[in-house]
Structure 1
Amino acid sequence: NHRHQKIQTSYGSHAITKITMVSHKEFETAGKAPGLQIWRIENMDLKPVPKTLYGNFYTGDAYLLLYTTTAPSYYIHMWMGNECSQDESGAAAIFATQLDDFLGGGPVQFREVQNNESLTFLGYFKAGIKYKQGGVASGFQHVLTNEVDVKRLLHIKGRRAIRATEVEMSWSSFNRGDCFIVDLGKDIYQWCGSDCNRFERLKASQLAIDIRDNERNGRAKLMMVEDGAEPDALIKVLGPKSSIAPATPDDEEVDTSNKKKAALYMISDASGTMKTSVVAQTSPFKQEMLSLDECYILDNGVDKNVFVWKGPNANTSERKVAMKTAEQFIKEKNYSSKTQIQVLPAGGETTLFKQFFSNWKDKDQTTGPTKAYTIGKIAHVEQIPFDASSLHNNKAMAAQHNMVDDGSGKVQIWRVEGGERVPVDPSTYGQFFGGDCYLILYSYKQGSREQHIIYTWQGLKSTQDELAASAFLTVQLDDSMGGAPVQVRVTQGQEPPHLMSLFKGKPMIIHTGGTSRKDGQTKTGSTRLFHIRQSSSRATRAVEVEPSASNLNTNDVFVLKSSDCVFVWKGAGASDEEMVAAKYVVSVLGGKPTDVAEGKEPGGFWSPLGGKKEYQTSSALRNMVKPPRLFGCSNKTGRLMVEEVPGDFTQSDLATDDVMLLDTWDQIFLWIGKEANEVEKTESPKIAKDYVDSDPSGRRGLPITTIKQGAEPPTFTGWFQAWDPHMWETDPLEKIRATAQC
């Protein structure tokens, strides 16, 4: 057994026995293999929970969870039930600190409260979490029960995060809007209210199958029961059926953008007591605000989240009491006791934390041409280099580079003029003016099927009327083609790589303002500067920028045209393809070019740029691709809610009766399920726009791609592991019911 000494310590208002272990026997197996380990606090000690009962939590208890990745990195969660005693939650906190110490201070720590768990925690239990009444104190044990002993009623709530709560075994516990599981040990009945929708039935069935297969080792019989068709066995247990309560709306708060607001504080214990001082009143923050010698609190209490970031060189006492400091902070701010706490070591920051910073760079980000990719919530995956020839059979590459094909298909372009589509002269394809809006129809073959994408390009200087007309004309064009095309809305300056590759090897040229209409051109400035850069998919884009030396960049090529000369400036890190593109830009602008190498500029080069100034001279930091995030937009509760899907998402998380939003960092996808209702369809583009506009890291104007169920391009499907194009050919509910009967 473990050796320990007992010390009186105060935790909250209670004095409890603190156990300072030299080592704990349970720690000997902790983190040795990837996966999840769960312990319950029993009599101030750790007791492992049997694996087949993972996902069951007694509401009177506290638990410690450790999730280990292959890297390895560690995630420690202490979970408290609503009826858990202060002594038990105190012991859980102490064990969490000790486990953190044992694993070298590198784990991320979470404090979890019943019904308010983090997405990371919920992601471990994709089938759902089951809350059981009672706990250690009342003699309830985590044991594989004799099947005859069980008799409980579970109320199932949730569409993304599934929670089953044990309620009183009586008809008065039921309502028509939810699913319930009557668990009688050998027999498990899933009862569905008459107002319960298909996706909720599907999720409830997954949970019922999980109980049968794991808790009963597959030895129980599972039956589906409809409201009004209850078998005698149910009436025998519940008594004669009384009238069932109507559906109750979920009491979730309306999703508002102020949930994304946060403040940043520095923690100090200089005077022997923990104090906080404001670093920044409001997000987005800059990464430089975090000194490696200090600990910080990021306060997102409006959305029930508080983070503590531990600088690697901060003093040990500050680092050790990080969780306690956060709890104290929550009390001082009068935040809800259900507020989520995450304690993060430098280098172990979660997506949720990093989203509050406008310029977050991870230390393993590369400066070369490849990006380190983080797929899913935790796993690191190297970026796949771009290779146009293998696009059709490599969906992950297509998704990472946002390329459905190599751009060699058919292109048609119209300009929005007076509320109509006017064809653009094909000889000028690839040139876009900031005073215009354009519709680009791209058609290509995928196997034997013809596919279509409509890009709606909106200039930053186009009028409100043109913007509205471009949206309307896109819908009209989509309807005329039977609603099959993928729609992509593009704001000037945010062009996706695929759009840049449609112009047969020529660069895409973006003029700041003006228009390509007949007689509509405004006079261009006497000095113009174009910035030429190649994307990861090797397509190039030339963007007109303010003619100032501060806009130069050592990684790229620039074309400078003044009234009397044209220069092609080549940065030290520029590519040959960028030089070729520059020569084409010169041919469009006119004039005889002079090539200039960085550092060897003649005097006449700087004067049109307003003189020599500092500019970007460090090699390009390719942003690490952020983990994709999936959200469901649903108004099943009577108002439109946006909820994130917990854990690593899969294709089956796409609810066919909802609109789903997939955020892949540099673009947003809206996926329209076949059974989504009109409100969801018409309001979701606004939600996507609000989502980007309220993004705490300050991302703005991202391309928003709208796709329909059954017509998903590889740029979307590549974010899902093992995508099955035939998945929805059989009804998912029928499929799971067949599994239930097995």
Structure 2
Amino acid sequence: MLGGGSNEDVPPESTSDDDVDHERQQKRSVTLYKVSDEKNGTVHIEEIAKKPLMQEMLKTEDCFILDTGAAGFFVWIGRGSTKAEKAAAYGSAPTMEDAEPAVFKQYFSRWVDDDAQVGLGRIYSREQIAESVPVSVHLESRPPKQRRHLVQKSFGCALGFMPDDGSGQVEIFRIENFEPVLVPKETYGMFFGGDSYLLKYTYQKFNRDHYVIYFWQGNQSSQDERAAAALHAVKMDDGLCGRAVQVRVVQGREPRHFLTLFKGKMIVFMGGHASGFKNIHDHDTYDVDGTRLFHVCGTSEVDTRAVQVPEETKSLNDDDVFVLETPKQTFIWYGKECCDEERAMADNVASLVSPGRSPVKINQGGEPAEFWSALSGDPSEVQQVTEPTAPPLEKKLIHCFENVAGEFIVEEVEGFEQDDLNEDDVMIVDTGDEVYCWIGKDASRQEKEKTFQYATKYVKSDMTIREDTTVIRVPEAREPPSFKALFPSWDDNMFEVTSDGSARGPLPRACKRQEGKMG
């Protein structure tokens, strides 16, 4: 009946197409089509773009069809589209312009709602934003676009993760020869982009010690060094009986809470410490000719930081403030679009990176010749910054695991609640701005060790384009308030805690819709 063949021609399971793999591939092939009658009065459907998609591709005078592969189709109806276009596009429940659901927006790399309080991918309420906004910053007096822009570029990432006000005890270790070495306190806040670091943060709540372990990965640090930082974060947590919250931090994507630990005195230098391995900048030196350029970010004495950038005109942008140190003078350069808060904080940064000098303050367009002569490139190369945006995403609970064939499987739990957290597994709660990895008390050692690998694979498999998302590892019964707030209702008694602070497991009523959902 098959027209020939034999048993020997049937490939083994390991080399045959995998259904789950096929579905994941289908999900990744997202295509946008335009439905238009502008050509000869007849309706045409044409492909516009594939992933990544931008909000500005949707034109109000047309209709569009979004094919998400295995997840189905969306029909977007522009306000100015014609009856013929609407009739041709209809075929499933329509999505009207200015009324798009979050599940539609998540397929776009850029999406802005004028009235939204948005972090980098997550909608935050005014109350949540207010909790982490310095008193000196008056967001409500600004128009929505300006307010959102300031939050996104200067406040740091993972705005929802604020376990305390940053007034606890900090210990910092730099990875040298793949081992953690304690950093002198007088250098706290100074990081090298060619290195990776461990930070142990201890704070008190309800008369009990709580811990956060950050491992910071410099953009120019080696892969082996980054892996060593992650490994020692696990070892440090083991020494605390698994009670710490672990957070992976990538240079340039520091969580707001991380920034508060340094009280406006954080500086990231180019280069790295000589640690016995081949590195792009295998030395301690971050200045070879007496000229350095620093990009100033921040809005207050709490979150201000300076990042050393190449001494080139194209490193400047019109939306920010920069400090330029030359052998003879120090300049503070104000981009024409920078805000008052950044101007005010620039003095603090200048005193840190170029102490003992009175800086010359200049506005964009009024630079002296010696300013440009210290930089390579032409003044026309100053960058114009577009608004950093990301689609507001709905929170999701994800079950990640590897099957017996070693394939990575992602399963979403719809309409999740606290009792969907399976004590035998690692579960991911994705807020859009941060990814929480919840570790059940009975999860295997292998699952615990692969937590950050699972998170990285999950983010890469997701529709939206997000690089270097903050990943927060949360042990059962040690959930921070920001994690609990993601659930419709949270019962602290569901996960009992023993006298030494470890989880004893959920009460019997927690077990379990999950088994029915996941099999």
State whether TM-score is above 0.5: yes
Deviation at 1:439, TM superposition (A): 0.5
Instruction: Provide the C-alpha distance between the structure 2 equivalents of 1:672 and 1:455, rounded to a whole number of angstroms.
Output: 17
Deviation at 1:542, TM superposition (A): 1.4
Select which of 506, 524, 532 maps to 2:287: 524
Per-residue deviation, residues 573-625 of structure 1 (Å, max 9, x unmatched): 43446634543444334562212234443333333342323656679677675
Per-residue deviation, residues 536-572 of structure 1 (Å, max 9, x unmatched): 9941221223334444345432111234321112345
Instruction: Provide the C-alpha distance between the structure 1 equivalents of 2:411 and 2:285, rounded to a whole number of angstroms.
Output: 46
Residue aligning to 1:386: 131
Deviation at 1:420, TM superposition (A): 1.2
Aligned residues of 1:568 and 1:595 also touching (Cα < 8 A): yes
Residue aligning to 2:46: 277
**Taking structure 1 as reference, are residues 525 and 650 closer, same or farther at Cα in structure 2, changes over 3 Å only?**
farther
Per-residue deviation, residues 120-156 of structure 1 (Å, max 9, x unmatched): xxxxxxxxxxxxxxxxxxxxxxxxxxxxxxxxxxxxx
Deviation at 1:490, TM superposition (A): 1.1
Instruction: Provide the C-alpha distance between the structure 1 equivalents of 2:319 and 2:300, rounded to a whole number of angstroms.
Output: 14
Residue aligning to 2:442: 675
Aligned residues of 1:570 and 1:579 also touching (Cα < 8 A): no
Deviation at 1:440, TM superposition (A): 0.5
Corresponding position: 1:568 with 2:332: yes
Instruction: Provide the C-alpha distance between the structure 2 equivalents of 1:694 and 1:706, rounded to a whole number of angstroms.
Output: 19
Instruction: Provide the C-alpha distance between the structure 1 equivalents of 2:454 and 2:43, rounded to a whole number of angstroms.
Output: 41
Residue aligning to 1:343: 94
Paired residue type of 2:180: R
Residue aligning to 1:305: 72
**Taking structure 1 as reference, are residues 274 and 653 closer, same or farther at Cα in structure 2, changes over 3 Å only?**
farther
Across the aligned residues of Structure 1 and Structure 2, the Cα RMSD in angstroms comes to 3.5
**Taking structure 1 as reference, are residues 605 and 352 closer, same or farther at Cα in structure 2, changes over 3 Å only?**
same
Deviation at 1:498, TM superposition (A): 0.9
Residue 474 of structure 1 aligns to a residue in which SS? helix
Stretch deviating more after TM superposition (724-733 or 460-469):
724-733
Deviation at 1:642, TM superposition (A): 1.7
Deviation at 1:483, TM superposition (A): 1.1
Aligned residues of 1:434 and 1:515 also touching (Cα < 8 A): no
Deviation at 1:317, TM superposition (A): 2.3
Aligned residues of 1:667 and 1:702 also touching (Cα < 8 A): yes
Residue aligning to 1:443: 202
Instruction: Provide the C-alpha distance between the structure 1 equivalents of 2:434 and 2:215, rounded to a whole number of angstroms.
Output: 14
Select which of 290, 296, 299 maps to 2:64: 296
Aligned residues of 1:372 and 1:383 also touching (Cα < 8 A): no
**Taking structure 1 as reference, are residues 389 and 621 closer, same or farther at Cα in structure 2, changes over 3 Å only?**
closer
**Taking structure 1 as reference, are residues 659 and 697 closer, same or farther at Cα in structure 2, changes over 3 Å only?**
same
Write out aligned runs for 1:420-459 (5 A): 420-459=179-218
**Taking structure 1 as reference, are residues 665 and 578 closer, same or farther at Cα in structure 2, changes over 3 Å only?**
farther
Q: Using CA pairs below 8 Å that are at least 6 residues apart, which structure has the higher relative contact order?
A: 2
Instruction: Provide the C-alpha distance between the structure 2 equivalents of 1:370 and 1:474, rounded to a whole number of angstroms.
Output: 27
Corresponding position: 1:501 with 2:260: yes
Paired residue type of 2:333: W
Residue aligning to 1:539: 303
Instruction: Provide the C-alpha distance between the structure 1 equivalents of 2:76 and 2:231, rounded to a whole number of angstroms.
Output: 47
Instruction: Provide the C-alpha distance between the structure 2 equivalents of 1:695 and 1:472, rounded to a whole number of angstroms.
Output: 26
TM-score (norm 1): 0.55
In structure 1, runs of 5+ residues without a counterpart are 1-250, 325-340, 391-397, 738-742
Residue aligning to 1:359: 110
TM-score (norm 2): 0.77
Aligned residues of 1:263 and 1:299 also touching (Cα < 8 A): yes
Instruction: Provide the C-alpha distance between the structure 1 equivalents of 2:273 and 2:383, rounded to a whole number of angstroms.
Output: 31
Aligned residues of 2:110 and 2:389 also touching (Cα < 8 A): no
Residue aligning to 2:6: none
**Taking structure 1 as reference, are residues 618 and 465 closer, same or farther at Cα in structure 2, changes over 3 Å only?**
closer
Write out aligned runs for 1:580-595 (5 A): 580=345, 582-590=347-355, 592=357, 593-595=359-361
Residue aligning to 2:422: 655
What is the aligned-residue identity percentage? 38
Select which of 627, 636, 645 maps to 2:413: 645
Residue aligning to 1:510: 268
Deviation at 1:635, TM superposition (A): 5.9
Aligned residues of 2:36 and 2:85 also touching (Cα < 8 A): yes
Instruction: Provide the C-alpha distance between the structure 2 equivalents of 1:342 and 1:355, rounded to a whole number of angstroms.
Output: 17
**Taking structure 1 as reference, are residues 591 and 425 closer, same or farther at Cα in structure 2, changes over 3 Å only?**
same
Instruction: Provide the C-alpha distance between the structure 1 equivalents of 2:454 and 2:121, rounded to a whole number of angstroms.
Output: 30
Corresponding position: 1:629 with 2:396: yes
Aligned residues of 1:370 and 1:383 also touching (Cα < 8 A): no
**Taking structure 1 as reference, are residues 432 and 582 closer, same or farther at Cα in structure 2, changes over 3 Å only?**
farther
Deviation at 1:448, TM superposition (A): 0.6
Per-residue deviation, residues 387-420 of structure 1 (Å, max 9, x unmatched): 5899xxxxxxx98442111111100011111121
Residue aligning to 1:704: 471
Paired residue type of 1:608: A
In structure 2, runs of 5+ residues without a counterpart are 1-17, 136-156, 277-281, 497-504, 513-519
Instruction: Provide the C-alpha distance between the structure 1 equivalents of 2:491 and 2:229, rounded to a whole number of angstroms.
Output: 34
Select which of 335, 340, 344 maps to 1:579: 344
Deviation at 1:446, TM superposition (A): 1.0
Aligned residues of 2:265 and 2:352 also touching (Cα < 8 A): no
Aligned residues of 1:439 and 1:454 also touching (Cα < 8 A): yes
Would you say how many aligned residue pairs link Structure 1 and Structure 2? 454
* CA radius of gyration, larger in: 1
Deviation at 1:258, TM superposition (A): 5.8
**Taking structure 1 as reference, are residues 727 and 471 closer, same or farther at Cα in structure 2, changes over 3 Å only?**
same
Instruction: Provide the C-alpha distance between the structure 2 equivalents of 1:381 and 1:355, rounded to a whole number of angstroms.
Output: 22
Instruction: Provide the C-alpha distance between the structure 1 equivalents of 2:349 and 2:402, rounded to a whole number of angstroms.
Output: 51
